[in-house]
Chains A and B, each alone.
Chain A
Amino acid sequence: MENPLHHFELHPLIPLSLFGIDISINKAIVMMWIACGLVFLFFYVATQGRSLVPRRIQSMAEMAVEFLRALVLENMGPAGRKFFPFIATLFFFVLFANLLGLIPGAYTVTSQVIVTGFLAVLVYGISLVVGFALHGFHFLSILAPAGTPGWLMPLMVPIEIISQLARPVTLAVRLFANMTAGHIILIVLFSLMLTAPVYIGWMPFGFTVAIYGLELFVAFIQAYIFTILATVYLGDAIKLH
């Protein structure tokens, strides 16, 4: 059986280097360009010839945007309106990257921990910047939950620091591990079908189809979870309890 991790390896397609830094173009970068292009194309087509009674694609785009706006308002309050473009970009990029990875032969960008890690650190960094910009040093009170008695502080503050530091790590690892595990399961089941004789091979093949359906669902739900957690973290920084 082929090594199930083989397909996650990246090899440069066009070797490039800038001031000694390796910036080679590989499959993941091409897939990111395609994902960005598809998001742009989707909204370009959806907003062409807008009408009061929307066509199918326009109503799809409207539903997605309204859903995201409700999410932002619910978790960040009216002050979160400014962050709506960022949140929407995050959601559509992750969603399209997840979905594109499910096309056979394509590459899942979000199965690289460097991509999800960068997105998570970006979200967390923005929440820190926003927190300090809005509340100044009062923002450090996020490390002490409201109503904590003074003698508990030496215990609570380290715990809260750890839970804050765990936020970007779990945000990144959740998306990366879900995508990687899903694709490994698909590969393992499919190679089981290829190696088994036909009279038993239909069983893993059926499983592959079922798991593929689950992976489609997981692609949507993980993009949703990533976005909802990003709004919650930013909302914490804005509202400060």
Chain B
Amino acid sequence: MDSAAAALLGMGIAAAGFGGAAIGIGYIFGKMIEATARQPAAEAKVAKYMWIGFALVEAIALYGLVIAFIIMGMRG
């Protein structure tokens, strides 16, 4: 396999990290719904932490994008 193909494959594999973030975001929203169903009065408080958690998880997915950029830069 030549190195150009390997770099493209590496970038694709780095993008696959989004799967983990998808699971994480699903968890966050699922748990939020569960918590609100149990204790509707706490919704505003829980929502604040939900959005923070959402942004943190989304950012972790984007670290994969950064790795893809690094590979693209090394490819020249």
Contact count A vs B, C-beta below 8 Å: 36
Does B66 count as interface, using CB distance less than 8 angstroms? yes
Interface residues on B, range: 10 to 19
Nearest opposing residue in chain B for A222, CB measure:
B55
Interface SS of B by simple majority: helix
Does A178 count as interface, using CB distance less than 8 angstroms? yes
Nearest opposing residue in chain A for B60, CB measure:
A174
Report B's interface with A, CB cutoff 8 A.
Answer: 51-52, 54-56, 58-59, 62-63, 65-66
Nearest opposing residue in chain A for B54, CB measure:
A221
Nearest opposing residue in chain A for B56, CB measure:
A225
Looking at B51, B55, B56, the one whose CB has the most chain A CB atoms below 10 A away is: B55
Check A221–B55 contact: CB distance below 8 A.
Answer: yes
User: Which residues of chain A are within 8 angstroms of B65 by Cβ–Cβ distance?
Assistant: 177, 180-181
Does A46 count as interface, using CB distance less than 8 angstroms? no
- Closest chain B CB from A225 CB (angstroms): 5
Check A174–B51 contact: CB distance below 8 A.
Answer: no
Interface SS of A by simple majority: helix
Q: Give the number of residues in A that approach B within 8 Å (Cβ atoms).
A: 14
CA distance A161 to B59 in the complex (A): 22
Does A102 count as interface, using CB distance less than 8 angstroms? no
CA distance A170 to B59 in the complex (A): 9
User: Which residues of chain B are within 8 angstroms of A222 by Cβ–Cβ distance?
Assistant: 55
Nearest opposing residue in chain A for B58, CB measure:
A178
User: Which residues of chain A are within 8 angstroms of B66 by Cβ–Cβ distance?
Assistant: 173, 176-177
- Closest chain A CB from B57 CB (angstroms): 11
Check A178–B59 contact: CB distance below 8 A.
Answer: yes
Check A174–B52 contact: CB distance below 8 A.
Answer: no
CA distance A173 to B63 in the complex (A): 7
User: Which residues of chain B are within 8 angstroms of A178 by Cβ–Cβ distance?
Assistant: 55, 58-59, 62
User: Which residues of chain A are within 8 angstroms of B56 by Cβ–Cβ distance?
Assistant: 174, 225
Does A228 count as interface, using CB distance less than 8 angstroms? yes
Which of A165-183 touch B at CB < 8 Å? 170, 173-174, 176-178, 180-181
CA distance A68 to B14 in the complex (A): 36
Nearest opposing residue in chain A for B66, CB measure:
A177
Nearest opposing residue in chain A for B51, CB measure:
A221
User: Which residues of chain B are within 8 angstroms of A180 by Cβ–Cβ distance?
Assistant: 62, 65
- Closest chain B CB from A213 CB (angstroms): 15
